[in-house]
Copies of this chain bind each other. A is one copy, B any other.
Amino acid sequence: MLLERIRSEGIAHISYLVGSDGIGAVIDPRRDCDEYLQIAREEDIEIELIFETHKHEDFVTGSLELSNGTGGEIYHGSALDFKFGRALEDGQSFELGGLSLRSINTPGHTDESISLVLAEAGGENLMVFTGDALFVGDVGRTDFMGPAEAGRLAGELYDSIHGRILPLGDGVILCPAHGAGSVCGSSINVREESTLGLERKLNPKLKMDRDEFIRFKSTEVLPKPPYFSVMERYNIEGPPSLGQLPVPSAVAPPELKKLVEEGAIIVDTRFPPSFSGAHIPGSLSIWFGGLPTVSGWVIPHNKPIVLVLANRTFAELATRFLVRLGYDDIRGYLCSGPEACGLEAWYVEGEPFGRLGVLSVHEFKNLLDSGSDLTLLDVRSEEGWREGHIPGSMNIYSGHLEDRMGGIPRDKPVVVVCNVGNRATHAASLLKREGFEDVSVILGGMIAWNAAGYPQDL
């Protein structure tokens, strides 16, 4: 028996390839599905079954792509009218090379959510693939259908977990669709391996009674990036076929300027000090590690994309990150020769560049103490802000900044802060694009602020 966890960084998505006696099933595949094919080839496994535990909101499903490449049949829950694949009955079971894989309805995160139980043939349960119903240390969101439905869904999720999943047995291995860092849960544990027994004992959400659980989930506020609606449409109707992963090519400054005129978005993936030092005016800062998630908040799906990379070797991974969110029109990365990659290609031609102020926490503390008139903008989540922030700061989550920019005074300096500096730099690039002139960021952010022992408001 083979169990492979295939992880997608950033969105902290986990998909699974289970194989037994040469037959394989993939659960919740991502769109760049070369890795499944390679494992299957090496292990001589025929992927016959492809399951969607639910309609994913945070990435484009790869099930059609994988089905094209393998001939595997796609299955999903019956409570939603998917335009592809087949609907599963509650309890429907599949043979998998001497084992069995049984679908059980576990609504709550969404109505059509299912879990898949791997069991010995006709016998004991071994593992359960819970999608977004149950995570390690957390449970799925119930807010996607709006506040009116959150209570109903929370009740159903409670029943699914306590009535259908936990009874599978303490010893059953838990295989959820997300790990720590995903926005699909607020506090998923950094430990990836777990069991139903461990969850029963350690998962704080499972210690609530039904009413408490419904109350908690009904009021839980979690970010919902605008791109989620695009993903939902793709994942119900079936996304466009990708075929081979696109290989981005070098784009020289003249071509880049032409693309910008045609509406292209320049995404600068370098670290904050680099963006701060020099960047193409109008470009968006999205630090490399933020590419798989932050992009979905700010990049429209109908615009071409050009990347600015610290090194061209990162082009492939950047492409994977974007393609997983449905951004297929990646025109390339700034480069004007093997020796002039990254921003050098730009400034060596005498093109003008922007800068961004950076402050250490000590410098900013001095500014504060000297009574400077400025706006301190904290772009972390509301939850993070509530747990502690610099006195006098205004909180707008970076993802909402474009909509709420009107509330920020344009006639005085704006200093942006987040945890480390990446998100602040991203937010600062949004402000600068909209014409804010005096913008700077605190490098080191709240972590450095706290390390320095400076005061926080709660």
**Chain A interface residues (CB < 8 Å from chain B):** 1, 3, 22, 41-44, 120, 124, 126-127, 169-173, 190-202, 244, 247, 249-250, 270-279, 289, 310-311, 313, 335-344, 347-353, 355-356, 358, 360-362, 420-421, 443-445, 447-449, 451-452
Contact = CB atoms under 8 A, between A and B. Distances in A.
Of all A-B residue pairs in the complex, the 3 with the closest CB atoms, nearest first, are A171-B197, A273-B277, A277-B277
A145 to B, nearest CB: 32
A423 to B, nearest CB: 13
Contacts of A195: 170-173, 195, 197
Contact of A278 (B169, B197, B244, B273): B273
A335 B42 CA distance: 11
A320 to B, nearest CB: 17
Contact of A348 (B191, B279, B352, B444): B444
A339 to B, nearest CB: 7
Given A277-B358, A358-B355, A170 B173 contact: no
A362 B349 CA distance: 12
A3 B191 CA distance: 9
Contacts of A343: 271, 273
A27 to B, nearest CB: 15
Contact of A311 (B171, B310, B448): B310
A321 B408 CA distance: 49
B335 A44 contact: yes
A271 B279 CA distance: 13
27 contacts: A22-B337, A41-B249, A41-B250, A124-B198, A169-B170, A171-B171, A195-B197, A270-B274, A273-B275, A273-B276, A274-B274, A275-B277, A276-B278, A278-B358, A310-B310, A313-B313, A347-B360, A347-B444, A347-B448, A348-B420, A348-B421, A348-B444, A348-B447, A349-B448, A349-B451, A350-B452, A351-B444
A275 to B, nearest CB: 7
Given A272-B278, A273-B279, A349-B448, 15 more contacts: A1-B191, A44-B336, A44-B338, A126-B198, A127-B193, A173-B193, A270-B274, A271-B344, A273-B275, A273-B277, A274-B274, A349-B451, A350-B448, A350-B451, A353-B360
A249 B46 CA distance: 10
Contact of A44 (B191, B250, B348, B360): B250
Contact of A350 (B198, B201, B350, B360): B360
B274 A349 contact: no
Given A42-B338, A120-B202, A451-B349, A344 B420 contact: yes
A338 B244 CA distance: 26
Nearest to A22: B337
A171 to B, nearest CB: 2
A191 to B, nearest CB: 4
Nearest to A444: B347
Contacts of A347: 360, 421, 443-444, 448
A169 B448 CA distance: 41
Contacts of A335: 44
Contacts of A447: 348-350
Given A193-B3, A196-B171, A344-B421, A349 B444 contact: yes
A448 B197 contact: no
Given A44-B338, A447-B348, A1 B171 contact: no
A337 B199 CA distance: 28
Nearest to A43: B338
A43 B120 CA distance: 36
Contacts of A170: 169-171, 195, 197
Centre residue among A3, A43, A192, A277 by max chain B CB count within 10 A: A277
Contacts of A350: 360-362, 444, 447-449, 451-452
Contact of A352 (B196, B339, B360, B421): B360
Nearest to A361: B350
B271 A273 contact: no
Contacts of A42: 338
B191 A172 contact: no
A273 B277 CA distance: 4
